Structure 1
């Protein structure tokens, strides 16, 4: 095999090696100081506030963030504890956030009606599919605990805000509690729960259920 033939046979291997070299050059080295600053600012903390939380001197934090010193393992433990994170998070680059641009406006009283024997729901943001949250407004028709045949249970967690009137919030593991306009409750929706209106008029609430 001549030298000319050798040049013709192996150019693809050379290209692959060059591409691998380019990829290697694009991999950024770990910048612990930069990562620490990102975590601190994401928590809305100044250096002074982070110092109080972690027990590390402000000057020490500043030097770590500016890559002037490397933190000891003990210092990293203090950082993780004070910033309420796990140590591996100090070494993991933040996930890139990509906006989906999803939006859905529901005008007043233009939600999708969904009446039941105890509630009259108005489903909101119905044009969006695969939502991580399900928002809806409800008028509470039920007046007594006995209006329900059993506890209501479903997957996820739920947030409830009283918009108008007063309700009694019953839950499987807690004593009943009365909630008035402006009051709210966040709870595990797999726990049995139900609502009744105790005001003269039917109470109105905003419900947000997470999947």
Structure 2
């Protein structure tokens, strides 16, 4: 059991070392110079290829301008709440429900204005897949030659390679939607 505790402390210090170094905007070379630890040793310490020795802790803490306790403490859990502003585009207001990773799927709560009733002459087509779950109101969804009315509690999923459009039937619509990156670009920025 002792080895597992040592491994967890070692891993925690490695994470904190990297986290604090990045927070302070310091390079490995700068921390190595301040702590009088060889750069390759510091790199191996940070990557876990070398175990931490007790004499490393005070030198690393001083190099990072923190106490040894601060270097040893568990990192704070990041705030899990998604805090992004809403924006409106083509009579649809989007509230992000996911953070913006480099790629992948993005979820939004959307509110489609009652003014969005008429599809364009040419329905858009793009790479990807769209998914929607209607919370309130009645959604009009055109996919290819098919024209659907989607009611609260119903979900739809469709290939965006097929010409498509969605809007309101007789009042505002609220829904949860998931777009792939290509659909997100089209719906939010086109």
**TM-score, normalised relative to structure 2:** 0.47
Rg comparison, structure with higher value: 1
Q: Structure 1 length as normaliser, TM-score?
A: 0.43
Tell me which of the two structures has the higher relative contact order, counting C-alpha pairs closer than 8 angstroms and 6 or more residues apart.
2
